[in-house]
Structure 1
């Protein structure tokens, strides 16, 4: 007798009793395309739709002995698909939530780094402001304008040794004033 002439419930019974692959194939061929279409409409992804439909049929094959139909096989397989889709959508939502938390954590870390940098710049500027005027000018020309010691000496009409002394004094003052930031730079 041909399997196509059997109804769904008879085919399921053959799978349950005999692990009948031909009966399973018949059910698969009857429902595959319908289920795939329904899954695609809900998931908007061919790959995800195929995956959930495959899982539905795999579960039917694995759990055939434990399946007890309260209504029709059609109702059973439709509900099974619905639950697989809901499970996948919940998984997606959880992954999106996790992903947005990671992005938020990165944004928080970036903001924290920016604030630390701003604080460092502010402390540096305050310390530079405490330097004597000539020393501060030499330091700014050296570090902010990128001028060489020779260029600074020529611009300010002072000796290179004086320029070196001012830079040394400025750096020593900065090191002393900002020593608490030493661990910041090591970290």
Structure 2
């Protein structure tokens, strides 16, 4: 295993796709503690955080042959943990809602599956729209929205002026508004 510890994440992912369990264990050991801290910060429960991180790594192992990364493994993993946290919170809220409904004899229809599918469609539409942006514009948008960097920080990292950062963000947001507007119009028709 010591030999794999010196491999990059990309090399380990390639090995993982070939069913290399040591590559998986190396990635797990490299990231589990960071992901546990992230999950704990979001959930406030060590038990729930451990469950989320375990589920995330189990899903990665189960999907290892189909694993496609657009960005770094760390970014992929952090997003996967965030979605597992959201799923756990939604599940807990659903149980609370069911308990309240049962206690008061309220009978409502569960639209969570439909809402989830609509959320997935919307997320895919947004991602497709972002992918269609020019490279620099897309990079500025992701740095702003996904990494929460300020215009000044983005300008310093990309060695461009803050006005250029603003211009890229304006273009990205306008494109998203137009794209999302077409979805809402199609839903109304």
3-state SS of 1:11 partner: helix
Give the TM-score, by structure 2 length. 0.53
CA distance in structure 2 between the partners assigned to 1:69 and 1:36 by the alignment: 21
Deviations 1:100-152 (A, max 9, x none): 1122239xxxxxxxxxxxxxxxxxxxxxxxxxxxxxxxxxxxxxxxxxxxxxx
In structure 2, the partner of 1:102 is 102
CA distance in structure 2 between the partners assigned to 1:55 and 1:42 by the alignment: 16
3-state SS of 2:105 partner: helix
Instruction: Give the CA deviation at 1:34.
Output: 0.5
CA distance in structure 2 between the partners assigned to 1:104 and 1:44 by the alignment: 29
In structure 2, the partner of 1:11 is 12
CA distance in structure 2 between the partners assigned to 1:35 and 1:55 by the alignment: 12
**Which runs of at least 4 in structure 1 moved beyond 3 Å after TM superposition?**
none
In structure 2, the partner of 1:50 is 50
Q: What are structure 1's unaligned runs of at least 5 residues?
A: 107-187
Aligned residues: 105
3-state SS of 1:70 partner: coil
Give the TM-score, by structure 1 length. 0.54
**Based on CA coordinates, which of the two structures has the bigger radius of gyration?**
1
Q: CA RMSD in A?
A: 1.4
CA distance in structure 2 between the partners assigned to 1:22 and 1:65 by the alignment: 15
CA distance in structure 2 between the partners assigned to 1:60 and 1:101 by the alignment: 36
In structure 1, the partner of 2:78 is 78
Q: What are structure 2's unaligned runs of at least 5 residues?
A: 107-189
In structure 2, the partner of 1:88 is 88
